[in-house]
Amino acid sequence: MLASALAGQYALVIDARSQREYTEDHVPSAVNLPVVDNEEYAEVGTTHRTDKHRAYLIGVSYALKNISHAIDDLVAGHPKDARMLVLLLPRGQAQRVVVRRALHHRIPSGSPSGRLEGVPGVGQRSVDRTPRKFRFHVLCGPTGCGKTRLLSALATVGAQVLDLEALARHRGSLIGDIPDMGQPTQKWFESQLVDALRRFDPEKPMWVESESKKIGAIQLPGALLEAMRDARVFAVSAPMSERVQLWREDYAHFERDPDALIERLRHLRPLIGGEEFAHWESLAKERRMPELFQRLMEAHYDPAYGHSIRKNYPLIEDAAKVDLRRLDGDSLLEAARQLHEEPATV
């Protein structure tokens, strides 16, 4: 597996593909130094259909210009004998020549070029088998009960934590988009997942939050879901007043713009009924956001969670109870220490 094989072997990994290809998937430690940008890549590709030699000359010109603007600062902090790796396209023989010329006298002579066989993803093969090596501890609980914050507290006290929502850049619900932050591609999510897992010790438990098959647009690998659903389960709960406060903090953008929240929820109207949805609209119009948040949890999210958790995590009936009376930082750290040090007593 490429990401694992590269870890720690090179002082610098340069991905010379376009920004588009790099964004889609890349080795997690790699720095993008595109030979051509997205528009230049398209120009070279279009020209190549009718005039291969002309396309090559255009590519050489762009490559020399682009790399010369950035390579000196990138390499300057490394000793001249440091091993570096330049990753290219799978069909990159011409590109390989261009990059070698552009990097002449800058990249150490012992540094190889490699083909990034990225389709269908740097992490695909390993993501099907790596999760099975771990013993998972799964935090279950209704929305707003502090599972994600408890995961963070567990990491603070030294536990092994896999935060899937952080990797997916999404909070996992219908309204879980994070403002000003798009989700990664599926390939890049899987590469980050494998890179995260390889850093953990399979002999120690791995804490993770219960998830359904998808986090926003990201599909969770089947092997990971199977390992999570066969794991030990911890049922997290918190008072409604604390859950409402958590929503007010995590979804402050909807508190400022309740109309956007209602619009996001509109397709639930056939499911929850016109009368209930009209009540949501009324609370939003009057800017009674704490009441609206509570109503959303009681009328929709909690019932939906109850159905989903029994279906996807059948071991929930025997789950250890984690009652969080408060969701402030100190309270979560105290709960995390107990879970980390003595999970069998919870």
141 φψ region: left (φ > 0), alpha (ψ -120 to 50), beta (else): left
The closest alpha carbon to 145, from 321, 263, 288, belongs to 321
**Residue 80 structure tokens:** 């001249």
**Which amino acid, one-letter code, is at 331?**
S
Instruction: State percent of the chain over pLDDT 90.
Output: 52
Of 105 and 38, more confident: 38
Decide if pLDDT at 117 tops 50.
no
- Tracing tokens 């030699």 back to the chain, one arrives at 53
- Going by pLDDT thresholds of 50, 70 and 90, the confidence category of residue 267 is very high
Decide if pLDDT at 320 tops 80.
yes
Q: Which CATH architecture has domain 2-122?
A: 3-Layer(aba) Sandwich (3.40)
Is the peptide bond between 108 and the residue preceding it cis, with omega within 30 degrees of 0?
no
CATH of 125-345, one of 3.40.50, 1.10.260, 2.50.20, 3.30.1460: 3.40.50
pLDDT at 126: 67
Within 13 Å and on the Cβ side, how many CA atoms surround 45? 10
Span 250-273, average pLDDT: 95
Within 13 Å and on the Cβ side, how many CA atoms surround 268? 20
In whole angstroms, give the CA distance from residue 252 to residue 261. Answer: 11
Lowest mean pLDDT: which of 125-134, 192-201, 279-288?
A: 125-134
pLDDT at 96: 55
Decide if pLDDT at 29 tops 60.
yes
**Residue 216 structure tokens:** 């926003």
Q: How many CB atoms lie within 10 A of CB 244?
A: 19
In whole angstroms, give the CA distance from residue 289 to residue 307. Answer: 26
The closest alpha carbon to 195, from 87, 85, 89, 121, belongs to 121
pTM of the model: 0.75
Same fold? 2-122, 125-345: no
pLDDT at 70: 64
In whole angstroms, give the CA distance from residue 208 to residue 221. Answer: 14
Q: CA-based Rg of the chain, rounded to a whole angstrom?
A: 25
Lowest mean pLDDT: which of 74-88, 103-117, 304-318?
A: 103-117
Tens of pLDDT, residue by residue over 281-310, are 999 999 999 999 999 999 999 999 999 999
Domain map (residue ranges) of the chain: 2-122, 125-345
